[in-house]
Amino acid sequence: MDGNANIVDRGRDPGAGQDSMDNVDLNNPELYINRELSQLEFVRRVVAQAEADSLPLLERLRFLCIASSVLDEFFEIRVAGLKQQEAYGSMQRGPDNLSPTDQLRHIGNCAQELVEEQYRLLNDVLLPELDDEGIRFLPQDHWSEEVRGWLENYFNSELAPIISPVGLDPAHPFPEPLNKSLAFIVTLEGKDAFGRNSGKAIVQAPRSLPRVIRVPEELASGPNEFVLFSAIVSAHISELFRGMTATGCYSFRVTRNSDLFVDEEEVDDLLRALEGELSARRYGDAVRLEVSNDCPDDVVSFLAAQFRLSEEEVFRCNGPVNLMRLAALPDLVERPDLKYPGFTPSIPRRVRSQDAMFDAISKEDILLHHPFESFAPFVDFLRQAARDPDVLAIRQTLYRTGTESAVVEALVDAANRGKEVLVVIELRARFDEAANIELATKLQSVGAQVVYGVVGLKTHAKMCLVIRREGDSLTRYVHLGTGNYHIRTTRLYTDYGLFSRDRALGDDVQKVFQQLTAMGKAGKLKKILQAPFTLHSSMLEFIEQETQRAENGESAGIYAKMNSLIEPDVIRALYRASQAGVRVELIIRGVCALRPQVKGVSENIHVRSIVGRFLEHTRVFCFENGGDKKVFLSSADWMGRNFFRRVETCFPIEDKKLKERVFSETIDCYLEDNAQAWELQSDGTYTVKKYKQTRKAAQERLLDKLSA
């Protein structure tokens, strides 16, 4: 951003005090990075991992696939929303002041560049390196007679019986392919048995069929030779149109608007309404068309017209149309040397005894840092609660967990044993709605009480409460976390989980559950900061306290780690803190609308993003507080939706040792990272931080320190 100097008076002394600070318009759109373009910068950082030859080869391919998955969701939700705003003539603009049309134009240019880079890396870097390792995809002109015969038999026995080609004519209009499903457009010559010839047909690929097929080792020149589903279909496409000649077969995929809409004020049963919406998601309005690079221009134009998309919304793919399908390859190849080394999450010594969770929590608060430390203690906690005759009730929130889960099994067991089990399930957890509907039905069938949160708000808080009779009183044991109760993601995401029997914390959690289920007010909470009530104002208050200290000449600092930062009030507060001299260190994985290092505004703010083996998911907020640090863990990012449209919890870490541990492992360690860190520049781009001497990668250091 070359206009930094225009934001403030050129001659202003950064240390000139409040009068000079007041001269800066902190609402200036140039001080804000567009949310959507920031998200694409995150995709760019993920794509860059595919080129990093310091990483294992198959993991680099996996990163390329992850980038495609992120882009898919970006188009399904963010681009779809902007297209709707544009269609309705919306005048809504964010702090950056870009209109929906301006954003869509910038997104189109940036996304096209990203897609071109993805396929360049695939074709010029990854596939040749995989080939060197004996892992290869066989193109049709490399099929031996033996392989060709096997593939013909595979097509006739496995594919042809369940593929239904549709010739296009007035009786067979253009079908509506499912969202993100692979399809083929076939150009034809000749007439069929009924004398019809429209010249085109559509073949939809069943989603149940694998997209990567291993060639039998006895027919291949090595153990790891594969053929793509699309190559098999293209080679045998004429067999689906006997008597006609297929002159071309081109793969394509359409991405559709996948944001569900339910008018919660007009529905009586949210579960039933969502069930109806889920089927509509598959056929929403088209927002992107991907086609194989060899598809003729006239065929591309025909497809784009069917989906009412412009030329700018068409993406030509120089390779498999859906790169995400290649993510199956690392699991099909037994090459540990080309993958991340395995690790075993550790279990703290004081909770290793499977029957001692309540005793261990009674002695002191227990903090687990996933995935370096195991999620098993939480599962043991629930299982023990289910079996313990002194446990009377279990309360839990579930946002994403899956129906086949040890967590769910423990809750089912507790309900079957007569415990009072109450589960708050967020049905609207995006792309997990169907699983959560099934989960709700499963829990209700065993007698658990299931509620769906609050109308108009998503319940995003991660909390569990176990009420246990101990002597003549009831004791509340709580687990609060930054991440979901999902067994699989606890091995892939970084998150914190806290066990405690602190009375005030237990009272707060119980009040929040009562608020979610009984529609009453929770009253004033003693320790937990809750969205949509106190979290936003509290964060602003803590930032302002650091600002005041800096203005008084005291040491002041703000350290925060989260997934996204876009809420404008918080950004303005951080700008004012920086102007006052507060050190602001932000570790933000994805979207960041704050513009750091702007003269006179954000010179004291540094923003970095860590992209590594694990998805960074911890939310940690720390404030110097005059030498007595305030440390909070949270389920919420600093975004408007988290502050105002979700039920979130943010809880303090008060034990001195645990407080020091969180700061050391999540702030110090990540600020020292010189191997996987990207630093945000004032123009909105990121530069990778390269180590000059000792390599320090935060995730690797935590693996060494914490895993078994």
3 state SS of 9: coil
CA dihedral angle for residue 372, residue 377, residue 379, residue 383, rounded to 10 degrees: 170
Q: How many CA atoms lie within 13 A of 404 on its CB side?
A: 0
**Dist CA 141 CA 274 (whole Å):** 48
Structure tokens at 30: 């140039």
- Rounded to a whole number, what is the largest CA-CA distance in the chain? 89
Torsion angles phi and psi, residue 51, rounded to 5: -95, -10
Residue 460 a catalytic site member: yes
- For helices 433-445 and 406-416, what crossing angle results, to 10°? 20
**Dist CA 529 CA 691 (whole Å):** 38
Q: Residue 423 pairs with which residues in a beta bridge? A: 396, 450
Q: Name residues whose C-beta falls within 8 Å of residue 367's C-beta, 6 or more positions apart in sequence.
A: 496, 497, 498, 499, 653, 658, 661, 662
**Catalytic site residue from 460, 479, 536, 617:** 460
3 state SS of 649: strand
Residue 24 is classified by DSSP as S
Structure tokens at 426: 């967020």
Q: What is the DSSP string of 569-597?
A: HHHHHHHHHHHHT-EEEEEESS-B-B--S
**Pair 352, 479: CB distance under 8 Å:** no
**Dist CA 646 CA 447 (whole Å):** 27
Q: Residue 500 pairs with which residues in a beta bridge? A: 478
**Dist CA 392 CA 465 (whole Å):** 11
**Dist CA 645 CA 341 (whole Å):** 40
Amino acid letter at 674?
N
Structure tokens at 204: 């939809």
Instruction: Residue 598: name the closest of 17, 18, 26, 42 by CA.
Output: 26
CA quadruple 538, 544, 548, 549: dihedral sign? positive
Structure tokens at 404: 């086949």
**Pair 428, 458: CB distance under 8 Å:** yes
Beta strands of 211-267 (E only): which ranges?
A: 212-214, 224-228, 245-256
**Dist CA 371 CA 492 (whole Å):** 7
Q: Provide the terminal-to-terminal Cα distance of the chain, rounded to the nearest Å.
A: 46
Instruction: Residue 619: name the closest of 637, 594, 605, 604 by CA.
Output: 637
Residue 285 is classified by DSSP as -
Write out the catalytic residue numbers. Answer: 460
